[in-house]
Chain A
Amino acid sequence: MTGHSDGSKDDPKAFSWLSRHLLWVDNPRYVDRLVWGLAVVCLALASADFAYHKHSYFPIEDIPGFYGFYGFVMCAALVISAKGLRVLLKRGEDYYAPNTVEAEEHPEFDLDREKFDA
Chain B
Amino acid sequence: MPELLSPALVYVVAAILLPFIPQGLPRQITMLAVPFLGVAVFWDLSYGTYGSLNLMGMHVGLMRIDALSYIFGLIFSLAAFLAAIYAWHLRDTVQQVGALLYIGSAIGAVFAADLVTLFVFWEGTAIASVFLIWARRTEGSYATGMRYLIVQIGSGLLLLAGIILLYLETGSIAFNRMELGSLATWAIFLAFGIKCAFPLLHNWLQDAYPAATVTGAVILSAFTTKLAVYALARGFPGTEMLIYIGAVMTLFPIFYAVIENDLRRVLAYSLNNQLGFMVVGIGIGTPLALNGTAAHAFCHILYKALLFMSVGAVLFRTGTAKGSELGGLYKTMPWTMVFCVVGAASISAFPLFSGFISKSLILSASADEGHYIVWLILLFASAGVFHHSGIKIPYFAFFAHDSGKRPKEAPLHMLIAMGLTAALCIGIGVYPAPLYALLPYDVDYQPYTTAHVITQLQLLFFSALAFAVLMKTGIYPPELRSTNLDTDWTYRRLLPAAIGKLQNAVVGTWRFGVRLTEARLDRLLTGVYRAHGPQGALARTWPTGSMVLWIAVLLGVTLLLTYM
Contacts and interface: CB of A to CB of B under 8 A. Distances in A.
Contacts of B384: 74-75, 78
B335 interface: yes
Contacts of B213: 110
Interface stretch (B155-163, B461-469, B515-523, B541-549): B461-469
Nearest to A22: B330
- Chain B contact-residue range equals 35 or more
A111 B214 CA distance: 8
Nearest to B254: A78
B320 interface: yes
Interface in A77-98: 78-83, 85-86, 88-93, 95-98
Q: Which of B321, B456, B467 lies at the interface centre, i.e. has the most chain A CB atoms within 10 A of its CB? A: B467
Contact of A112 (B211, B411, B465, B482): B411
Interface residues of A, number: 81
Contact of A86 (B254, B380, B484): B484
Contacts of A25: 330, 399
B509 interface: no
A105 B332 contact: no
B380 A102 contact: no
Nearest to A26: B402
A52 B458 contact: no
Chain B CB within 10 Å, residue with most, of A68, A103, A109: A68
B262 interface: yes
Contact of B383 (A3, A23, A75): A75
A107 B137 contact: yes
B440 to A, nearest CB: 24
Nearest to A74: B380
Contacts of B338: 18
A115 B387 CA distance: 31
A23 to B, nearest CB: 8
Contacts of B12: none
Interface stretch (B234-242, B276-284, B473-481): B473-481
Interface string B393-423: 0000001001111111101000000000000
Interface stretch (B108-116, B194-202, B302-310, B367-375): B367-375
Contacts of B485: 88-89, 91
Nearest to A2: B319
Contacts of A109: 137
A19 B458 contact: no
Given A70-B383, A71-B460, A79 B404 contact: no
Interface stretch (B140-148, B183-191, B525-533, B552-560): B140-148
Given A35-B468, A90-B484, 14 more contacts: A3-B405, A19-B332, A67-B459, A71-B461, A80-B475, A88-B485, A93-B483, A96-B483, A101-B210, A101-B211, A107-B137, A110-B136, A111-B316, A116-B332
21 contacts: A7-B406, A26-B402, A34-B468, A42-B458, A42-B462, A67-B459, A71-B379, A71-B383, A71-B459, A79-B467, A89-B259, A89-B485, A100-B143, A100-B483, A101-B144, A106-B136, A110-B135, A111-B214, A111-B319, A114-B407, A115-B406
Q: What 5 A-B pairs have minimum CB-CB distances, sorted nearest first?
A: A99-B143, A82-B258, A68-B458, A75-B466, A116-B332
Interface of B: 89, 135-141, 143-144, 210-211, 213-214, 254-256, 258-259, 262, 315-321, 325, 328, 330-332, 334-335, 338, 367-368, 370, 372, 375, 379-380, 383-384, 387, 399, 402-409, 411, 450-451, 454-470, 472, 475-477, 480-486, 492-493
